[in-house]
Chain A
Amino acid sequence: MILDWMLVTIAGWLLISLLGVACLRRTWLVSRLLFPAGGLLALVFAVLAVSALFSTPEVAELALGLPGLPFHLRLDALSAFFLAVIGGAGAGISIFAAGYFRHGEGTPPGLLCLEYHVFLASMCLVVLADDAYVFMVMWETMALSSFFLVTTNHRVPSIRQAGYLYLLIAHIGAIAILLCFGVLQANTGLYTFANMRAQELSSFWSSCAFLLAVLGFGAKAGILPLHVWLPEAHPAAPSPVSALMSGVMLKTAIYGLLRVAFDLLQLQLSWWGILMLCLGLVTALFGVVFSAVQADMKRLLAYSSIENIGLLFVAIGLALLFKAYGMIGLSTLALTAALFHVVAHAFFKSLLFLGTGSVLHATGERNLGKLGGLMRSMPWVAWLCLVGILASSGLPPLSGFVSEWLLLQSFLFTTGLPDPFFNMLVPVVAAAVALIAALAGYVMVKFFGVIFLGQSREKRLVEAHDASLLERIGLFWLAAVTVLIGIFPVYLIDAIDQVTQALVGYGLAVTVRANGWLVLAPISIERASYSPLIFLGIVGLGVVLAIVMVRLFYHGRIRRAAPWDCGFPAQTARMQDTAEGFGQPILQIFSPFFRVKREVPSPFDAHPQYRLESSDHFWYWFYLPIARVVERLAIIIAKLQQGRIALYLLYSFLTLIVLLVVIKR
């Protein structure tokens, strides 16, 4: 029943996309009518998904596709959970997009509308798919529609390049996923997920399928070393698209991984967990260190997404490890942390990407070094982004802290893994996670401080305008959800409980609910507890009491004067830290991470210039060697290509003879 309504909603999106094509260049109609309608549908979709989460699984067969190969769809707890994330975050992004897309260069708005809604629909169908065929078709639709969205400004060569890189890596991933499904069906020739679940694969073939899944979904999620497309594609895409890709699309990769590792595969090995743990840890550390030195605000957020995906991998790896050892309670805790972070990240990262979109529209500038002081002219965007950065830094009482807290708890309750080596690894990983979380705070202070605080680094920034009403509504929705799930985490854990029940057969909700809605205590109140509402209440009370007391006993006089700054007279806006300046300690402390190119001026230079370029080792150690090998091979193969028809006829003739010989045998 719910599934049918969901399909109606998806059909609604497709209708909107067709209408978009019909009014190709009528910007007003597309942005003020079609996008808000799509946003409302997304909201309806999220509500449907939440109600599906608490009801029994449903299946459907659509007579689409090839003859004898219908679309199998299934709506269970795991897919309902991810659909709710897609719908919820998608609603905010669509409403924002309604105010964002305007008449300009590049793809006409009607076409954007088509691509955008096809993208949304395909993401939902990926999550609903119940056979490999639908999954792959929708996965490819998703990749292609997002590729066209990334290359909206296709007249800029660097954007075309970024899109190409994205498409390339997406396809490497797609091949791995296809092979993974090939292994999973175990020569039965039936590609439905139900059949895959029924197969009892040996540990070797299970491992093959798992590794292929990690490779395939890791490419989409941006796991090292397949992360390179993220920092290129996100700045290239329009902001709502970056938000949708980073906040939502990356989560479909997480969904796929969970589906394969916990649902389709019937056995889990401990080393899989360790592998994911290590991959995730390296990715997260790399992502956060690189995001600290970026000067482009969207690149900074893209690296921060890499970090968050790394943390998700750590949590899922931990869950796998515990599951493999049959420690179901701990596995549930780690999985709950992962799923909580999926929701938290979807909302706060979309919020931040949309915030950069508003800044970009108001100033036309992506470089942090040329922004500053925007809180004065764009208070709405600034205060809402403040919510986003606090959540992203993992600070209480917002959503990012809850997932970090749950993750650290699952490390802490680890006692007595059968393998002493793994036992030793767990505290080290916990330490690294703590370091990554603290570094994320550094990055976010840089992001917010350099863009919104201080003095404007350029004169024209004073004229920057705040976001339009629709943009504000979109941002507000995302910020509100971020705050609400941060303050009432117990309700979200109730929902997550349905998923963990389905995946590992255990849920936290019983213990959590026993302690009431106010206090979050996954095991018992004596062992660990956290209550965001009381936390907020006490800090708030402290603030209010302090204000009242000061006013009561003293006075509220204030005088405005020029900044003091140790009495230095000639202060200009250029003396503030730039993005490079703020990132400098990281560049120094983590210097082995970077490949740094410095150009230092000589003392006698009349126009001294200082240039610093920090880039990724992976380009030089991983991608360029591969590119060189491909180039060499291409040169060798090109020798066959002589451009004379006689030679090509000879090739055909030889091929024919070889084939005949083969068949004759």
Chain B
Amino acid sequence: MGYEPQQDFGTPEVQSDKQVTLTIDGRDVTVPAGTSVMRAASMAGGHIPKLCATDNVKAFGSCRLCLVEIEGARGTPASCTTPAADGMKVETQTPRLEKLRKGVMELYISDHPLDCLTCSANNDCELQDEAAAVGLRDVRYGYEGKNHLGTVDDKSNPYFSFQPDKCIVCSRCVRACGEVQGTFALTVDGRGFASVISAGQKEDNFLSSECVSCGACVQACPTSALMEKSVTAIGKPERSVVTTCAYCGVGCAFRAEMKGEQLVRMVPWKDGKANHGHSCVKGRFAWGYANHKDRITKPMVREKITDPWREVSWDEAIGFAATKIKKIKAEHGARALGGITSSRCTNEETFLVQKLIRAGFGSNNTDTCARVCHSPTGFGLSTTFGTSAGTQNFDSAEKTDVFLLIGANPTDAHPVFGSRMKKRLREGGKIIVVDPRRIDLVKSPHIEAAHHLPLQPGTNVAVLTSIAHVIVTEGLAAEDFIRERCDWDEYQDWARFVSQEKNSPEFLEAVTRVPAETVREAARLFATGGNGAIYYGLGVTEHSQGSSTVMAIANLAMATGNIGREGVGVNPLRGQNNVQGACDMGSFPHELPGYRHISQPDVRELFENDWGVKLDPEPGLRIPNMLDAAVDGSFKAIYIQGEDILQSDPDTKHVSAGLAAMDCVIVHDLFLNETAHYAHVFLPGSTFLEKNGTFTNAERRVQAVRKVMEPANGYEDWEVTQLLANAIGCNWSYTHPGQILDEIARLTPGFAGLNWDRVDANEQLQWPVNDKAPQGSPIMHVEGFVRGKGKFVVTEYVPTDEKTGPRFPLLLTTGRILSQYNVGAQTRRTGNNIWHEEDILEMHPTDAENRMVSTGDFVKLASRSGETTLRVLVTDRVAPGVVYTTFHHPNTQANVVTTDNSDWATNCPEYKVTAVQVTPSNGPTDWQEDYADLAAMARRIETVEPAE
């Protein structure tokens, strides 16, 4: 496919039940009422010249290039701001219009550098195109007058540059920043001829401004004024391939724009149903890790973890691993073996890894990163609704009146959806934020939460139960809905429970530290404010009562009738790109793909017949249990695809002890990650740009991942898994992920209607996709809950065992920042480090003053598990008594400090509550120094002398 820019209809799509028919240049066109004449013309295959209009921002009507003549109307109205009307007759090409447009274009060009041949936008420039379209041949005014040429370029942003002399002040960037991204970092400074685009204040550049580098301005720019540096360096792309982002669970669709085998830029795809043409700094720009010098592309082995790595052939590496696996199985049995599937890899790759473990290794010791993030979502929502995936599509947010946001920070962790939320809030939606920190959705430009409930970490259940108390005792519950859709007896039990005085906001205020009246007001708003939607993240799940909190959320949604239609629902915001898919594909140790328990004989028989092996009927070990069992000597070998458990999992010392105790650790990854310090086999992985397959996003949307370049290591990840499987005696012969998807569809009822042709056609369907729902299922539980009646569950608040005291008086909670992703393996190897080069500890001014520490000081962060050092940022974003940090950098490793406490139902770690002390420090802890030595030793690669 050659390079074609994405079609631009000029103004946004309009939804309307009413259609209007107009005539444009003699052709009848029928469009939804409210559609602009410009868009109608474009829909009919025509083109009206334009500069200030683009279809992801509202019409502006400033460039005066899109003028048209309308029969019966005076003058020459701008087609971008003129709505189509029934019977309207429009002319877009007349001598009068040609003259007007040429005059407008003449003025633009009189103040524009005429360096088209050396311009980075040459042949991909709307100004150039429109100058040609209007037939401009000369500029009567000359070029010597006052102009904007010779300005200084702003190259401060690592990914794009701003060249003011190329700017035509169309304001598309300013509007994209506001309307699409919702950051409002850009403005038009000055008036008339003095107008210039400005990022932040006068003294700011793009980097120092509030710009979040989402790229919306660059995408909107019609010239090279805002241009990707990669395009400037490499040149115009030659072709594009639609694929899916491999960062967060939003699942943005992108066009990978290529020149040969070289990626020039990633541009959000307008037809992506999850992102509708928007992006964040990670997906848009942070793909440089794919070609980073740290990338390992050759397999490596070593007998002992104290040995240096030895580069070997694929055959030798796979043979080495297989020999060890077979030996351990013979000596210790199949249950001594296990593996971890990756939520960053495709559905097909994940499916194969769990198949390898179950059918090849012979055990059910398979787990995935959902263990440490959203496993409580599975438990909680399946208990209450019978299905645990998000109930809505992202578009549903456009119909929401009141958002209840709990333990999630979408503007940082799910930025594209965060922008959707902000847009709805600017339109009049309201938001209640339940979070210990004052996140951006509490207060930022044009956003102010109706209520912020800054709860004490660990008290989610208490806060949600007290909200329920208000709803029930004040008679605000949706009884009609409950009677029809839920088990009425269970509701009454629950209502009696939440109505108890011990669950009132006033009683629980001492625990939650949220003023009772704030809880009452928030509860009333959520129950009576129209469509109420609950969105939540790891601030809900990563607690000792994570599963209870999820059930409390489901209780609230049912009690207020907020399930089963657009604008409402319960929506877990998934952390990684394919967490949903990894769970769907049978990554958990107790269930096969399709959420069917391993103990069910007919379920096993289905897989046994297909796979030709007997399966173990007992559940396997979860990740923390694998590590426990390794320390105890009953778990000996692990295959880890695309996960870095040493950095991401809690209580690092426990993780390292478990890994060190194993006889064979196989790490399959892009880089020598932290876990690889303890590995005996390293199998190089492939990036999402180097493979075919599917990812499933947080909306249950299954989207295509496409190979845009050959794998640097020679194999896609599913091929490597197949090599290993065949080396231990499996007889697999997949030649394309589509065949694996066929197997998934054959064995998994919710995927029965999917195949590679449908994926490749970019249908972007949301599961279930089957005979009952051939076009997928955008909204769940529309007619009724899939389990039958919705189940209310009594969720008693049980305080965590993790207590503050004199030695550890503060509570640490952890999270993410916009520019970094998870353990940082990818983003730390990109320009994103400019925004976040180290983990920082946020601390309230009162706590900082008590400890005599200031912003920038090194401090020691100590808990009952361990200690590390990092720098402090003094800020009132956190409440007194609470400190916050990220876990993106291995030299900090916040998880040295976190404990092995976990959710009662799923063992999801309690990352969000750790009792700590903070004291001034002069430098790294002994542990950090020892770890640095270990990392240096473990990453040695044997130097092979060249042959004579």
User: Do the two chains bind?
Assistant: no
